[in-house]
Amino acid sequence: MKICRTRAEMRETVREWKRDGVSVGLVPTMGYLHEGHLGLVRLVREKAERVVTSIFVNPTQFGPNEDLATYPRDEARDLALLEAEGVDAVFVPSVEEMYGAGGDTYVEVPGLSGILQGALRPGHFRGVATVVTKLFNIVTPDFAVFGEKDYQQITLIRQMVRDLNMPVEIVAHPTVREPDGLAMSSRNVRLSTEHRAEAIMLSRSLARAEELAATGPDIADLEAAIRDVLAKGPSAEVKSVDIRDAETLAELSGPLDRPAVVLLAVGFGPVLLIDQRVITPH
């Protein structure tokens, strides 16, 4: 497994592969890997002949009061896990390598970056779109895999790729969960024992939403039912519960009459967790 710390190293590595006509897949990560990330790696392995994983905690997607400084990091552990999965190359740039000095260009998808999580975290999706564009330009993958847990993120990236004619196929991987249903996240390690026990209310509320969807409920009633389940976690600070069109993320009202995605953002102490599920009326 090759470790590339500069853009030049990463580009040259991929150029050598592509001279031999092989396909390349990318899994972008911010490190502190868990089984969810490794599932993405395995999916890329099924689609591409060479697998690249990036590890980069991107500062431009964190707000001034967010957890950039405390975001968990363990490069040695991450590299060992990736080597065990047969990853061909890992791109591990510094902030200086990715952004340099005097950079003043950003990528934004206005219609999707200012709603939902984007409204809670101003500038977050501009940072995501910019760093993903940089990674695509450096690695030049044929495929890139993202987890469905970050549903708004993958919707935004697909829009960006379409609008900018990027020659990258975006592949979604279903959310990977702990045995009790909690979506796997690098942030889970920061939950206290009490908050970890309460956090399962996210997946339970989504299961309740899926159950009720069969009856074609009113959107407002469905949201109320989700909030009732979340309220069983006394420390949970519900930031948002949104029920949107599963394809466009447009707002919905009235009876549920099409596939919708339920998007949750819930705080537990200093840790913000998100989760999602697509539900369909029968």
Report the sign of the C-alpha dihedral through residues 129, 130, 135, 138, in that order.
Answer: positive
Tokens for 154? 């993958």
Residue pair 75/122 in contact (Cβ under 8 Å)? The answer is no
Which class for 71: exposed (0-12), middle (13-18), buried (19 or more C-beta within 10 A)? middle
Is 184 annotated in some ligand binding site?
A: yes
Is 153 annotated in some ligand binding site?
A: yes
DSSP string, 23-60: -EEEEEE-SS--HHHHHHHHHHHHH-SEEEEEE---GG
Is 212 annotated in some ligand binding site?
A: no
**Annotated catalytic residue: which of 37, 124, 173, 195?**
37
How many other CB atoms sit within 10 Å of the CB of residue 223? 16
Is 94 annotated in some ligand binding site?
A: no
54 beta partners: 28, 91
Question: 130-149: string of b/e by CB count within 10 Å (b at 16+)?
Answer: bbbbbbbebbbbbbbbbbbb
Residue pair 175/183 in contact (Cβ under 8 Å)? The answer is yes
Residue 37 appears among annotated catalytic residues: yes
Residue 209, SS3 per DSSP: helix
Q: What is the DSSP letter of 112?
A: H
Q: What is the DSSP letter of 281?
A: -
Is 203 annotated in some ligand binding site?
A: no
Is 173 annotated in some ligand binding site?
A: no
Is 267 annotated in some ligand binding site?
A: no
- Maximum Cα–Cα distance across the chain: 57
d(CA 155, CA 135): 18
Is 195 annotated in some ligand binding site?
A: no
Is 124 annotated in some ligand binding site?
A: no
Is 117 annotated in some ligand binding site?
A: no
Instruction: Output the known binding site for (R)-pantoate.
Output: 61, 153
Instruction: Output the known binding site for ATP.
Output: 30-37, 147-150, 176, 184-187
Instruction: Output the known binding site.
Output: 30-37, 61, 147-150, 153, 176, 184-187
Residues with catalytic roles: 37
Instruction: Output the known binding site for beta-alanine.
Output: 61
